[in-house]
Amino acid sequence: MTLQNFQKAREAMVVSQLQPSGVVDEAVNEAFLSVPREDYAPEQLRGVCYLDDDLAIGQGRYMLEPLPFALMVQDAALTKEARVLDIGTGTGYSAAILSALCGKVTAVDSNEKLLHAARLNWEKATLANITPVLGRHNDGYKSAAPYDAIFINGAVAEVPHGLMSQITKNGKLYCILRKGDEGCGKVTVFKYSEAGQIISETLGDAFAPYLEGFSPVQEFEF
């Protein structure tokens, strides 16, 4: 595909996938229009990177399909002062979207090869507000906490209680909650109530592979 064709595919993604499903925030749409998804996709899959499906990026990992991530980003209502944590950043596409909307992005990935690719992609795009961190996904990154929002790029089997301590009092954590016996998951936002209890809200349905560190715990049968 030519650059012009990629641009048309990006516009079609916003107009045909995101907007009809309720992603109408102008800044969010502009972020998805401004970041070339093909630059973060394996070369052999660039021609299909704008389809409404998760995209294999190697190392057994996937880039979330555009709509679930866009629903999360729109709900977060990020400002230029916001500090966010992007968990499982992969080749860096999600962090690039977030960098267009907030002040500081900390991007964690457990895979050194993918994180290196992300660094190169961010350098090519001259994105200076992203800090890469090599580490376990389920640990988050306490050193830069608290965050106004945390995004998990994949499905989780249960409420990520350990990460809730890394958001601000009014912060939010986004993921696709998919219990082990469920084929489809829920795009979910977790936050604290005024009483300090963890509460959740569903933004939509989505399927996504489990992100490393958040898979269901295997139960042994004797």
Instruction: Tell me the per-residue pLDDT of 140-191, one tens digit each, with 9 for 90 and over.
Output: 999 999 999 999 999 999 988 899 999 999 999 999 999 876 778 999 999 9
So what's the pLDDT on residue 2?
A: 77
So what's the pLDDT on residue 118?
A: 98
For each of the chain's 222 residues, which pLDDT tens digit applies?
677 799 999 999 999 999 999 999 999 999 999 999 999 999 999 999 999 999 999 999 999 999 999 999 999 999 999 999 999 999 999 999 999 999 999 999 999 999 999 999 999 999 999 999 999 999 999 999 999 999 999 999 998 889 999 999 999 999 999 987 677 899 999 999 999 999 999 999 999 999 999 998 765 454
CB 66 within 8 A of CB 17: yes
So what's the pLDDT on residue 222?
A: 45
What is the distance between the alpha carbons of residues 126 and 191, in angstroms, rounded to a whole number?
33
Q: How many helices (H) and strands (E) does the chain have?
A: 6, 9
So what's the pLDDT on residue 220?
A: 45
- The alpha-helical segments, DSSP class H, found in the chain are 3-12, 26-34, 66-76, 93-99, 112-124, 161-164
So what's the pLDDT on residue 159?
A: 86
CB 208 within 8 A of CB 183: no
So what's the pLDDT on residue 25?
A: 98
**Please, what are the domains in the chain?**
57-206 (3.40.50.150)
Which residue shows structure tokens 């500090």? 83
Report CA torsion sign: 5, 24, 22, 101: positive
What is the distance between the alpha carbons of residues 190 and 180, in angstroms, rounded to a whole number?
19
Q: Is 31 left (phi over 0), alpha (psi -120 to 50) or beta?
A: alpha
Which residue shows structure tokens 């080749």? 91
CB 57 within 8 A of CB 90: yes
Which residue shows structure tokens 């998990």? 152
So what's the pLDDT on residue 137?
A: 97
**In 3D, which of 48, 57, 53, 41 has the Cα closest to residue 17?**
53
207: which residues sit within 8 A by CB, 6+ positions away? 54, 155, 176, 178, 183, 184, 185
Q: What tokens were used for 139?
A: 């640990």
What b/e readout covers 173-192, taking b as 16+ CB neighbours within 10 angstroms? bbbbbbeeeeeebbbbbbbb
* Torsions phi, psi for 12 (to 5 deg): -65, -35
